[in-house]
Structure 1
Amino acid sequence: MKNLSKIFVCVFWALPFWSSAQGTADELYKELDHVVTKPTLENLQRLASYADNFGSMAKSSDQQLALVIARSNLGYYFEKNGDLSKSVENYEDAYHRFKSNELSDYNIYENAVVPLAAIYIRQGDYLKAEELLIQCASHAKNTANNSLLFNTVLSLSALYNSTSRYERSYLLINETLKMKGIPKGTAAALKNNLATSYFRVGDFEKAKQLLSEIKVITGVELVNTYKSLAFIALKEGQKKMALDYIDKAKTALLNDEGVSAHQWVNLLVEEAELLLELGNILDAKNTLHKALSVLLPSYSNQGLPDETKLFPDRNFLRIFDAYAAATETVTDALRAYDLAFYVANLLQQDYTSQETKIIHQADVKHRTEKCLDLIWKLYSDSKDPIWAERAFTYAEQGKASVLIERTVLNKQQDGKASGLEVLLRNRDRLTDQLLRAQFKNLGDKILKSLISELADVDRQIKMVQSHLPKILRTELDLVALQQKLKTDEAVLQSYFLGAKSNYQFTIDNSGLRMYQLPDTEELSPYILKFVHLFDGPEAINNDVPHFTKTAYELFEVLQIQNGLNKNHLVLIPDGLLNFLPFESLLTEPAKGTSFSKMPFLAVSKKVAYAVNAQQYLTSKSDSKRKSVLGIFPVFSGSPEELSYSEEEAKAVGNAMSAELVMESQATKDNFIKKAKNHDLIHLSTHAGSGNFVVPAFVQFYDDLLYLPELHSLDMNGKTIVLSACETGIGKLQKGEGAISVARGFQYAGASSVLFSLWKVNDQSTASVMSRFYESFRSTASLFASNQEAKLSYLQDKNVPNSKKSPYYWNGFAYYGAIDSYEKPHNTLWWWAASLLFVGFLAIVFGLKRKQH
């Protein structure tokens, strides 16, 4: 629905139904007629209010259809007025009502679904947009509706360009352009999207050729064509030509009577970005002020607006990022970035899926890197700790924020929050069902049904979210963090790995220091070289000197030596460091090939990991005796048999009072059912890190537990021991970390997780786990037992040196609290020593009395 004529068609098309509808439907159409004639905000609100009231009493198909038409028009006009939230609300209602009432005789896809998907793309909700557009394409092909197909391809190609899937974009467009009957304007728009794809991959000649073809087509909008030509000219160093094309784009847009505020703001922002590239700072800032004036009519055009005036619109992100790049002082730049972070947070609150939220963490991380670069210059010159503290706050705010948001929700007891949690878990279950339906090729009917259910749950989630307070970013309490570190006798080292710059923060009770690491081009090969030494047992054993050299070099490069002044070390990895076995690094140069004599970090420090500082700060020690569940599918007689898993089960059973579920009883349903009744869950099985199609999973005797279903489980407060391969490995998402099985359990609420970083050896894992539980029986400390099990294995004289490579004993990382640990025999020794001392004093005093 792109012009008023379509709306008139909708209204007059509905005339035959007026006579059969009740009077309330007549009034609804009359209100709609007022809006079409005079689309003022007052008339819009009046129609919306009438539709709300009418919706509660509408029963017949004709009445429901009247509401669908009204809601579709409301969606169109609210979008024109810049109120995307209300626009989405009305379009979603129209589509849901149309589908749930099985209505027909109305082009819901062109009038509601395609424009709704376009708004999703503007808001950055790419997954939902793609889901809708794929449905549109399927419907268009099934009904031979070429008009709908062309518009859908136009939106899909724009989506693929926005998400850097350029090859997919130009394959789709080239296939569509072979079709006949494409309107001139649509063909021009498709070619412009195709030119964008070529431009983004660096093929300027193909892009310019396509844009030249568009320019000769009469009667089509050339705004996007001129914008594309402007940026190609800039890339080719033709600055004056670039500005000329932007001016032509502005002229073309001003001549368009149907231009929206969104289109005008887009062009102004792109002009400002171009001016920045050209070094015209003052002109760029003035253009950004104009863009703000369009978005915020009350804006005074002086400085930056107050955050209370802002709303979730992605244009603000581009404006504030550009403003930060254009400003002269660090303070003003950080203020602009702060506003961008604020708007990004507002946008995150409107997304319903964690996948969409995770996608946008990449932008947050990129912005954070710019903030850290600005602050580092000030800190390195002044050494003022206030700058290090501010940099640390920026670095932490974007780390695992999607996980932390869910963790906060899991812990809330409020009724509405609990209702939201139930809906989110239901959404995860439906996502898993949809995934399995796709794997099994169950057919379009089932897929459409599941997609429809997901859309309905999304609407419910948004409705509940609208009645809950926004979860705004809270500043980390550094005083409380330092106090906890003092109590835990720990040093915290947190890393930030950016596109170019990398930093490390070291914090203890005495203060906070910031260090700059080598840039990414130099650091990444260092990390990858060490990580790949653990791809199999041979890499380390075949060249021990190379391993020891690499292990000590990386220890120094990562500045770990700055955090060895306490008994315990808390590490917050980032980027590729999520896959690094830190405890295998060497704190000093090592000579010889005897692993038991090497100064591993694991030997000198007990190490705990955290996803961010806030998670560590809120982690709590739990020394109570835990109820244990052990799951051991074993897979006897199959190629996947875990022959040492039974030994592991015996070790768990001997050390702990545990419920052990073996072999064919170790099904997925049994695990889900029994996990509710236990505090500590031990899983000895196979697992996979997943790929771009298949998510990470845990294998049970009868089935796989994929990540979406794992997210739907309630694991609040539980301890999870994942004695399986690669449970900490998964697709690496910027800012959020590895989307692995371990993260899945954390997302489901687990308070502490012990997981693997590579394909661990079955035999050595059983041995390490046996030692782990033997230690845990006496210490009741996961944190201490993790280290003791590793050292016990390393120092065991019965284990040959070739099996003492850290590949065999250091596969597991512990994410959780530094829990207290007091060995019972240590306490007895203390009492015994005390009694002996008292006895000694008694003898001494007795002898003295005899002498007197």
Structure 2
Amino acid sequence: MYLVKLYICILSALFLFQTTRVSESPQADYKQLYYRAEKLSNAATPSANTDKEALSNYLKVVGFLSANHIDDHFLFRAYISTATFLQVLNRQKESVIYLKEAISLKKKLPDISDSTFFKPLVYCGNAYYQLDQPDSAAIYYSQAEHIADKYPKVSELERLYNTLGVIAYSSGNYNQSVTYYQKAISTLTDHQVYVKTFLVVYQNNLASALKKLKRYDEALKIYRGLLPYRIETDALLHNIGSAYLAMGKFAGAIECLNKVKYNDQKKFNDLGRAYFGEKDYALAAFYLQKAADLTVKNKQGHKIIDYGITLKYFGDLWFEKGQILTALSYYQKSINSLVFGYRGRDIYDNPATFTSVFNTMELLETLNAKAIAFKKLYSESGKVKDLEASLQTYLAFYKLANYVERVYDNDESRLLITDKKYASHQQPIEICLQLFGLTRNRAYIEQAFRLDEENKANVLSLYLREAKLKAGSGIPPQWLQQETLLKRTITKITLGAADEKDSLKLAKLNSQLNEYAINLLKVQKKIDEQTKFGRLKFKENSLSVKAVQDIVPSGSAILSYHMLDNSVICFVITNNAFEFFQTKMPADFEASLKQLYGQARLRGGNNRIQLKQLTQYFYHLLLKPAEQYTTGKNDLMIIPDGGLNYIPFEILADERGDNLLEHFTVTYNYSCAVLQNTTSGSIKLLNTIGMAPFASSLPPGNILRRLPASRAEMEALNGSRLLGEKASKQQFVANAHNFNIIHLATHAVADDHDPNRSFIAFYPAKPDSAMSYKLFLPEIYNLKLDKTRLVVLSACESGVGELVKGEGLISLSRAFSYAGCDNIITSMWKADDASTAYISERLHFYLQKGNSIAWSLRQARLDYLNDDDVAATQKVPGYWAHFRLIGGFEAEHNSYA
């Protein structure tokens, strides 16, 4: 992002307190010196001479008053004016000295309001930020925030929000930066009179954050809308060009960048990258050299990041030319520039620790490029050392990514890092397998397993881990309640805004949303600062095979799959063994996978032969190699990857035609890391609630059909049963957390294009008001169901949703995992009412006898399949295989009698 730098001149009119009367003395002309300095510093046509004289006069004033302390109020004012003028001259280090002196006068000036210190705190933070010392900057910004909380109308508050946006942006937390930039804009425009330049700056920054979030159309609309102001036009053109660059529109980027009149490292870097994209390597090298020359000329510390980017692009250029060692040399230099305090000259060296999240996106890209280069070098040299170096660089990449994920405080920002990780996830795992083949060292297989786990539901795993940390870190309950209330309010406003057509009402909703989002950030920061939670969540939690084995019961086995380009790996973990197998994927694998999912859902037509072929085909590929490791086991925990998330493994059949359901209970989970955070133990029936809102007649205007068989699902429940209009959304939200088992027999809709619009339906008392009866996915995230041991979602499509690479299906069922429930039975497709009711009734029958969830679900299905009263045509998978149990290990089940 090209951040427009606006340094602040503090005018005498901003001096918000009266100076004390001082005795006349020969030195009393300090005020005349000060006003002379003010006049010169604000000269209409400044020159080197006027600047020199202005600074000289400022320094004489602060020198005299700091030595004599005859007028500390005026000294405070002089300190700030001197510091501000030094910032105008871009002498940040000297500026910090005087700002600190101003802040230190607080104890000597008890009559001055705390709000007066807001500006020097913000300016001091700005100076440290310009010096590439973000941690020091954060200290002063935090103090300024505390003053702003106390004085909400403090002057120039918008500056603080904009700067906090810049900090969040620089750390890659783009969603958070959007919140701060929007608040800066609304705070500024709330003033009757404001400087248009500031509006351009803040909106420009907002657009740049949207660009990083890949919301290119929104960003370009803002940039173009600012051009008519004719303020910072070059910076706007630069940003438009960089947006085209991010979109891969290199010719458009070059056209815009060539219109920019100034020359700096960012512009030359972007031109170099654009010409590289156009495969004009000569011009790419020309502009990158210009960027490097500027760095040498300026010799300014805050330009080091731009130089790091220049070096990375040079590395890409040499890699493209086939000069791998030269490319690696440039990548190593780039890493040295991007990691504060790191001085690793050897290309085989990588940073061991990371203590900052600034410029991480650039660093992640550089580490990834270095790892690829080492892999290429190995293909030429044949040296195992080079292949090991590639793996070690990938491990540094993951160490940084994991650090950043722990620092970020929302899933949207974490998913940006997940995307970066997933884009390269196959390479390090393949390298591990390759190294194992070369060395037979099983440590590489364990490393492959850990890398696989890095790309499975890492965001969910981190969220669950943080939830447990919060529960045990002594956070005051009222803070957590406030956090929950703010999240629910934000969700409600967000969903309401999505349906609002009136532009004025929409603007008001967006303003409210931003206000609540800022308040949420403040609460979360308070939780981090004043409890141990902030320190706890930064601890790295590396998953080990031994730790996973410790949670596996003796009769169980984990089958964790990983999809490579041309093969499938399966890690098999039992309480005393860790094995793996690799199966080559036939050319028709993906097509057959989609065909199996489609055939499994069918309830009509004669597809038995085709379905049998498909189930045996995938059994042979996915389960047959595991038989030697699962002998004697009763329970399988399946952790799928990619398209395997859609397969009901229970229907896969061996060569005899026996499907998996006949021999095993089957449970699914997102990852072993999530599994570790899942509470073990068999379910204890404390209390149960069942809701069937569509069991009876419905009000006029309702478009969802009745589900008459859902009444039968409720009959086996030993607890509260709410049917029809009693099964309202309000009842569920208010009371769900009080129940041990929740059974929802209703409609559900999964929206693959916008998962946040996925919902579970309750009784539609007001069919024209979606919020009154639809429980949307974000609302489920905000529920508190940590005491709920089982949720049964007997609703079509509750288990499907958008398949997010590295996270799995972003489904309604997954949302209940976020809400704290460890076990969810969900539906993978539109279910048959009668068969669903049958299986649900038997499920609860066995649960009430004390059996485990997995065993009860399996036996309920077997009862259905073995019932002679059920027609053979209704025993195809489409009638019974839609149910899926997502959960953890339980105590050994009882056999029923």
Please indicate the TM-score interval, normalised by the length of the shorter structure.
0.7 to 0.9
Q: Which residue matches 2:542? A: 475
Say if 2:518 is the partner of 1:455. yes
Q: Which moved more, 1:806-815 or 1:303-312?
A: 303-312
Matches within 5 A, 1:768-779: 768-779=839-850
Is the CA contact (8 Å cut-off) linking 2:15 and 2:77 kept in structure 1? Answer: no
- Structure 1 residues 647 and 192 mapped into 2: Cα distance closer, same or farther (>3 Å)? same
Distance 1:622 1:347, change over 3 A: same
Change (3 A) 1:241 1:447: closer
Correspondence 1:72 to 2:142:
no
Q: Report the residue type matching 2:545 in the other structure.
A: L
**Which consecutive residues of structure 1, in runs of 5 or more, have no partner in the other structure?**
590-597, 827-852
* C-alpha separation in 2, matches of 1:488 and 1:301: 50
Post-superposition offset of 1:525: 3.1
Provide the C-alpha distance between the structure 2 equivalents of 1:330 and 1:766, rounded to a whole number of angstroms.
56
Deviation of the 1:59 alpha carbon = 10
Q: Secondary structure at the match of 2:821?
A: coil
Q: Would the aligned equivalents of 1:728 and 1:757 in 2 still touch at CA under 8 Å?
A: yes
Structure 2 counterpart of 1:131, one-letter code: T
| Contact kept? 1:504, 1:559, Cα under 8 Å | no
Aligned residue pair count: 798
CA distance in 1, matches of 2:104, 2:856: 60
- 2:179 maps to 131
- The alpha-carbon deviation at position 388 of structure 1 amounts to 1.3
Give the AA of the match of 1:312. Answer: V
Q: Does 1:405 align with 2:462?
A: yes
Is residue 2:422 matched to residue 1:365? yes
For 1:361-510, list aligned pairs within 5 A. Answer: 361-412=418-469, 413-416=471-474, 422=481, 424-439=483-498, 441=500, 442-466=505-529, 467=532, 468-471=534-537, 472-482=539-549, 484-485=551-552, 487-497=553-563, 502-509=568-575
Q: 1:46 to 1:452 in 2, by over 3 A?
A: farther
1:588 matched to 2:638? The reply is no
Q: SS of the residue aligned with 1:323?
A: helix
| 2:637 equivalent in structure 1 | 570
Structure 1 pair 498/698, CA: closer, same or farther in 2 (3 Å)?
farther
Task: Report what 2:165 is aligned to.
Answer: 117
- The answer to whether the 8 Å contact 1:707/1:741 transfers is yes
Displacement of 1:796 = 1.9
Which residue in the other structure is 1:208 paired with?
Answer: 254
Deviations 1:212-263 (A, max 9, x none): 444xx4xx12534433333343344433332222112222454557753332
Percent of aligned positions with the same letter in both sequences?
Answer: 20
CA offsets 1:509-543 (integer angstroms, 9 cap, x no match): 563333445579864433333223356534xx343
Shift of 1:324: 2.5
Q: Do residues 223 (structure 1) and 265 (structure 2) align?
A: yes
Tell me, what secondary structure is at the counterpart of 1:587? coil
User: For residue 162 of structure 1, what is the amino acid of its counterpart?
Assistant: K
- Alignment pair present for 1:151 and 2:201: yes
Matches within 5 A, 1:42-81: 44=96, 47=99, 63-64=114-115, 66-81=116-131
Paired with 2:447 and 2:125, the residues of 1 have a C-alpha distance of: 42
2:784 maps to which residue? 714
Report the Cα distance in structure 2 between the residues aligned to 1:149 and 1:520, rounded to whole angstroms.
57
Distance in 2, Cα, partners of 1:665 & 1:547: 42
Q: 1:21 to 1:317 in 2, by over 3 A?
A: farther
Letter in 1 for 2:720: E
Q: 1:754 to 1:506 in 2, by over 3 A?
A: same
Match of 2:660?
Answer: 601
Of the three residues 256, 278, 301, the one matched with 2:345 is: 301
Question: 1:603 Cα deviation (Å)?
Answer: 2.0
Distance between the aligned counterparts of 1:340 and 1:49, measured in 2?
41
Q: How far apart in 1 are the matches of 2:20 and 2:151?
A: 16
- In 1, are the aligned partners of 2:691 and 2:723 still within 8 Å (CA)? yes
Is 1:286 the counterpart of 2:357 in the alignment? no
CA contact (8 A) 1:698 1:704 kept: yes
**CA 1:457 to 1:493, structure 2 compared with 1: closer, same or farther past 3 Å?**
same
The one-character-per-residue Cα deviations of 1:577-630 (angstroms, maximum 9, x if unpaired) are 2232221222237xxxxxxxx532222221111221234355412253342121
Are 1:686 and 2:750 an aligned pair?
no
> What is the identity, as a one-letter code, of the residue corresponding to 2:153?
L
Cα contact 1:751–1:816 (8 A) shared by 2: yes
State which drifts further: 270-279 or 137-146. Answer: 137-146
Partners of 1:193 and 1:228 in 2: how far apart?
7
- Deviation per residue, 1:764-794 (Å, 9 max, x gap): 2111111212222335221101111112112
Question: Structure 1: which amino acid aligns with 2:372?
Answer: A
After TM superposition, the structure 1 stretch with the greater mean CA deviation from structure 2, 463-472 or 89-98, is 89-98
| Alpha-carbon shift at residue 378 of structure 1 (Å) | 1.9
In the alignment, what sits opposite 1:832?
Answer: none
**What residue number does 1:334 align with?**
391
State the distance in 2 between where 1:265 and 1:246 align.
Answer: 11
Structure 2 vs 1, CA of residues 187 and 126 (structure 1 numbering), >3 Å: closer, same or farther? closer
Are the counterparts in 1 of residues 241 and 254 from structure 2 also a CA contact under 8 Å?
no
Deviation sequence 1:153-183 (CA, Å, 0-9, x none): 5434433443334444445545554x35244
Matched residue type, 1:694: N
Q: C-alpha offsets along residues 544-595 of structure 1, whole Å, 9 cap, x if unaligned?
A: 3222222222333335542452322110112332232221222237xxxxxx
- TM-score (structure 2 length as normaliser): 0.80
Deviation, structure 1 residue 293: 3.8
Q: Contact 2:76/2:105 (CA < 8 Å) preserved in 1?
A: no
Offset at residue 77 of structure 1 (A)? 1.5
| SS in structure 2 of the partner of residue 325 of structure 1 | helix
Question: What does residue 24 of structure 2 align with?
Answer: none
Task: Using the TM superposition, give the Cα deviation of residue 211 of structure 1 relative to its aligned residue in structure 2, in angstroms.
Answer: 3.7
8 Å CA contact retained: 1:633, 1:662: yes
Provide the residue aligned with 2:758 in structure 1: 696
Question: What letter corresponds to residue 738 of structure 2 in structure 1?
Answer: N
SS at match of 1:457: helix
Give 5+ residue unaligned stretches, structure 2: 22-70, 379-385, 764-771
Which residue matches 2:829? Answer: 758
| Change in 2 beyond 3 A, CA 1:463/1:334 | farther
1:629 aligned counterpart, secondary structure: strand
Using the size of structure 1 for normalisation, the TM-score is: 0.83
**1:669 corresponds to:** 730
| CA-based RMSD | 3.8
